[in-house]
Amino acid sequence: MADSVKHLAVLGSTGSIGQQTLEVLRAFSHRFRVIALAAGNNSDLLKRQIEEFKPRFVYLQDEQKLHSIAGAGYEILPPEAMANLPLVDTVVIATSGKAGLLPALAAVRAGKTVALANKEALVMAGEIVTAEAKQHSARILPIDSEHSAIWQCLNGETTPAARLILTASGGPFRNYSLAQLEKVTAEQALKHPSWRMGRKITIDSATLMNKGLEVIEAHWLFEMPFERISVLVHPQSIIHSMVEFADGSIKAQLSYPDMRLPIQFALSYPERLANPQLPKLDWDKAASLTFEPPDCDSFPCLKLAIEAGKQGGTCPAVLCGADEAAVELFLAQKIKFTDIARLVEQTLSGHQSISRPNLEQIIEADAWARQQVLNYL
Ligand code: MG
């Protein structure tokens, strides 16, 4: 099996994770074959990717531009159908936000190996997605760096973990007071100190909402109760997360922050491939590694997310919907940075949660939350 070629569908190919996925595939073109590429609205980049990777199926979410990518040698096919193609064995879900949910679910239901970079699918519908994965023998392999780290630490262990410790860089505004945070601009928030990521997740990292979503994601991926998941701020972003075992021993995964490593590990698993493009940790230059507890007063999104995760039902979907809407407003300079948490909190407190929701109810809750945020304006 080790040297058989994997056949991939890359959904969200023009986004940050999608582009870095294609960088990895380019480095190991003899091992991977791109069968399908789907993107949001960047038709120019998608056209260049089609030319290079020669997929059989393509898609662009932006209907106005969909005709512009038509060409000979490939067919247009929506992402959920791509996730279902018999020819495809691995589906990379690199779509950001809520748009990743339905393709992830389709891939899981088709019994594929799902390399999952999108966290909303598990946050919004973790119970459904993980249950369907079990039922259809689909494997969900995390691409999110923290979850990849935990997965790597658990590899080979037969005793369940006692505690998961998710590390957080703390974002660009670590140590800022609430008063300073009031004045933060979108431009400042988009400058992440250590990671190269898309816009939505970069803002979520600055508010620490991202870490809260990751706690919920870890809860579902590793079947770990919320009480046994901790968050630790580690500004150097060298340790990507840790696992504590029953005997008190702690395993960590270290590397320079580069998303290509978790992407590559998910794609090459169980093998590890030598990739000269990935930077090796230089211990002569490695500064000291420091740790501190997260500041939940200045960054209330972390607590809001964990609380929504614990409440379960439709609360996590409301959290995601409200956050996505609020982040869009912040990027459009319509609200302040600190309004993101405020709007999310207001929306959550006005929500009547439904327990064990079906997919429809989850999607409705998300839509309701987005509308609430707009109404508060
Ligand atoms: Mg992450």
Q: Which domains does the chain have, with CATH numbers?
A: 6-142 (3.40.50.720), 147-258+280-310 (no CATH), 312-377 (1.10.1740.10)
Indicate whether 2 pLDDT > 80.
Answer: no
pLDDT at 196 over 90: no
Question: Long-range contacts for 126-132 (Cβ within 8 Å, ≥24 apart)?
Answer: 126/216, 126/217, 126/219, 126/220, 126/316, 127/220, 127/312, 127/356, 128/358, 128/359, 128/362, 129/104, 129/105, 129/220, 130/220, 130/221, 130/223, 132/105, 132/108
Least confident piece of the model among 26-40, 222-236, 274-288: 274-288
Look at residue 287 in the predicted model and tell me its pLDDT.
72
Ligand 1 centroid to residue 302 C-alpha, Å: 14
Q: Residue 91 C-alpha to ligand 1 middle, in angstroms?
A: 19
Q: Which of 133, 75, 127, 134 is nearest to 106 (CA)?
A: 133
Q: Which residue has the tokens 């912040």?
A: 330
State in Å: Cα 201 to ligand 1 middle.
Answer: 9
Contact between 253 and 241 under an 8 Å Cβ cutoff? The reply is yes
User: What sign results for the dihedral spanned by CA atoms 91, 95, 98, 102?
Assistant: negative
pLDDT of residue 197 exceeding 90? no
pLDDT value for 377: 82
Please measure the distance between the N-terminal and C-terminal CA atoms of the chain and give it in whole angstroms: 55
Confidence category of residue 96, pLDDT binned at 50, 70, 90 = confident
The DSSP 8-state label assigned to residue 227 in this structure reads: G
Residue 1 confidence (pLDDT) above 60: no
pLDDT of residue 3: 54
Dihedral pair phi/psi, residue 243, rounded to 5°: -130, 130
Both tokens of 270, joined, read 């169980």
* pLDDT single digits (tens) 136-172: 999 999 999 999 999 999 999 999 999 999 999 999 9
Q: Is the dihedral of CA 289, 290, 293, 298 positive or negative?
A: negative
Q: What is the pLDDT of residues 235-281, one digit of tens each?
A: 999 999 999 999 999 999 999 999 999 999 999 999 999 999 999 99
d(Cα 219, Cα 200) in Å, to the nearest integer?
22
Residue 343 Cα to ligand 1 middle (Å): 23
Phi, psi of 11 (to 5 degrees): -100, 125
- Structure token digits, residue 54: 């020669």
0.85 cut: is pTM over it? yes
Calpha distance 319→317 (Å, rounded): 5
> Does the structure show a pLDDT above 90 at 284?
no
Burial class (CB in 10 A: 0-12, 13-18, 19+), 5: exposed
Cα of 217 vs centre of ligand 1, distance in Å, is 10
pLDDT tier at 198, thresholds 50, 70, 90: confident
Task: Tell me phi and psi for residue 32, to 5 degrees.
Answer: -130, 145
| CA 240 to ligand 1 centroid distance, Å | 8
Question: How many CB atoms within 10 Å of residue 89?
Answer: 17
In eight-state DSSP terms, residue 248 is S
Are residues 208 and 235 in contact, defined by beta-carbon separation less than 8 angstroms? no
Q: Which amino acid is present at 153?
A: C
Distance from the alpha carbon of residue 363 to the mean position of ligand 1, in angstroms: 24
H-run or E-run covering 185 = none
Report the separation in Å between the CA atom of 191 and the middle of ligand 1, taken as the mean of its atom positions.
16
239-244 vs 250-254, strand pairing mode: antiparallel
| Cα–ligand 1 centroid distance for 210 (angstroms) | 7
Nearest partner of 317 among 342, 352, 273, judged by Cα: 352
Tell me the average pLDDT across 190-204. 85
Please give the Cα distance from 372 to 350 (Å, whole number): 9
170 C-alpha to ligand 1 centroid (Å):
12
Mean pLDDT for the stretch of residues 207-232: 98
